[in-house]
Amino acid sequence: MNDDIPIKKLEPKTKHGLVVIITGNGKGKTTSAMGMALRGCGHQLKTTIVQFMKGDLYSGEWDGITLLAPLVKLYHTGKGFCGIEGNPFPHSEHRKNAQDAIQLVETILAENACHTLILDEINNALHLHLVDLHQVKRILALKPALMHIILTGRDAHPDLIELADTVSEVREIKHAYRKDIEPQPGIDY
């Protein structure tokens, strides 16, 4: 930071808990949500992350988030991406894990102990019928007024897009894997 320039902190006149959706077929949806968790740390805001589908392949955020404790907590509740990347678990097992994650999210909402709740890959979980639309709508209805909820993943449901305050679509223009470059640590996972 430049010490010669005074830095102002903005404070909204009225605080609102937002519903944010980050969707699309491009890379960076989870990364964007993690950036919001990092940004929240700068404001001493607590963030809880529930990953609905990740769990069978290591991802750097798992250890990286521990460096942000106690302001950020992460629960990876899934068994990996259902039906892709050679994942061996049947749909029924993925659905059971996602249903357990729904229960965890409802507990987190009832405790109201965080400022931001990130539901990572919940859009995918809904698209793959691991969770149901009425369950996700219930989560949004249970949201405490000042809590932010961020939903990530491809294929965001139109009803959820309608309910959200902010929606961003990450569009792939070009990706290294299309040139047969393997996923790279710190960039892709």
Give the pLDDT confidence of 101-124 residue by residue, as tens digits. 999 999 999 999 999 999 999 999
Identify which of 106, 171, 156, 97 has the alpha carbon closest to the alpha carbon of residue 131. Answer: 97
- The reply to whether CATH 3.30.160.20 applies to domain 19-170 is no
* Region for 121 from its dihedrals, namely left if φ exceeds 0, alpha if ψ lies in -120 to 50, beta otherwise: left
Residue with tokens 């808990």, as numbered in its chain: 17
In 3-state terms, the chain is what percent helix, strand and coil (to 5)?
35, 15, 50
Please give the model's pTM, rounded to 2 decimal places: 0.91
DSSP conformation class of 155: S
pLDDT at 16: 96
Q: How confident is the model at residue 35 (pLDDT cuts 50, 70, 90)?
A: very high
113 against 188, higher pLDDT = 113
Answer whether residue 84 shows pLDDT above 70: no
Q: How confident is the model at residue 136 (pLDDT cuts 50, 70, 90)?
A: very high
